[in-house]
């Protein structure tokens, strides 16, 4: 079951990724999990070789697929859905829900204050009457000048 010579490097790289991802999988399921992924990668790499589609693009594609092993491994470890269901099934009151949303809302406002665009949009302008501010320039373009626009008291 030794991989063909031209794809040994590719298999080796993929194996490395899979081994790293497998550390996330609980020990009891790790062996089977790794075997499934390894078999998929092995077949995919051989298919690329035999069909003449082995190039840098397909190698990268295979590496990207291997990255998905981390998501799969994490699912085994944390089983997010179970967690979300457990949270959803807990008997929580409407008051709790409203308080959570309010807290989240105020937290978002608080955090957004640090964003430069938000801060400048809400900060006070340095002019007393911004609608009466005139800009003077020695190099200005007056092609759009209309009579009566310029007001000098």
Partner 1 sequence: MEASAKISHTSALILQTIGLGYAYGFDLMEATGLPSGTVYPALRRLEKESLILGSWEEKRSAFNQDRPRRRYYRLTRHGREALAGALKRYPLLAQLAPEGKESKPVRR
Q: Which is nearer to partner 1, 16 or 36 (CB)?
A: 36
Q: Based on the shown chain and the rule CB under 8 A, indicate whether residue 34 belongs to the binding site for partner 1.
A: no
Q: What is the 3-state secondary structure (H, E, C) of 12-59?
A: HHHHHHHHHHHCCCCHHHHHHHHHHHHHHHHHHHHHHHHHCCCCHHHH
**Number of residues in contact with partner 1 under rule CB under 8 A:** 24
Within 71-100, the residues that bind partner 1 by CB under 8 A are 71-72, 75-76, 81
Q: Based on the shown chain and the rule CB under 8 A, indicate whether residue 64 belongs to the binding site for partner 1.
A: yes
Q: Based on the shown chain and the rule CB under 8 A, indicate whether residue 38 belongs to the binding site for partner 1.
A: yes
Contacts 24+ apart (CB under 8 A), 47-56: 48/7, 49/4, 49/6, 49/7, 54/6, 54/7, 54/10
| Residue numbers at the binding site for partner 1 (CB under 8 A) | 1, 35-36, 38-40, 42-44, 46-47, 50, 64-72, 75-76, 81
């Amino acid at each position: 079951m030794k991989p063909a010579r031209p794809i040994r490097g590719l298999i080796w790289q993929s194996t490395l990724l899979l081994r790293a991802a497998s550390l996330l999988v609980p020990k009891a399921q790790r062996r089977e999990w790794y075997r499934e992924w390894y078999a998929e990668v092995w077949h995919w790499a051989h298919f690329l070789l035999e069909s003449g589609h082995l190039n840098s693009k397909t190698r990268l594609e295979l590496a990207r697929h291997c990255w998905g092993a981390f998501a799969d491994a994490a699912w085994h470890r944390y089983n997010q859905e179970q967690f979300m269901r457990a949270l959803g099934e807990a008997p929580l009151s409407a008051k709790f829900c409203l308080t959570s949303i309010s807290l989240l809302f105020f937290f978002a406002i608080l955090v957004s204050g640090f964003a430069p665009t938000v801060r400048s949009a809400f900060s006070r302008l340095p002019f007393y009457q911004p609608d009466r501010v005139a800009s003077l320039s020695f190099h200005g373009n007056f092609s759009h000048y209309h009579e009566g626009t310029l007001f000098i008291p």
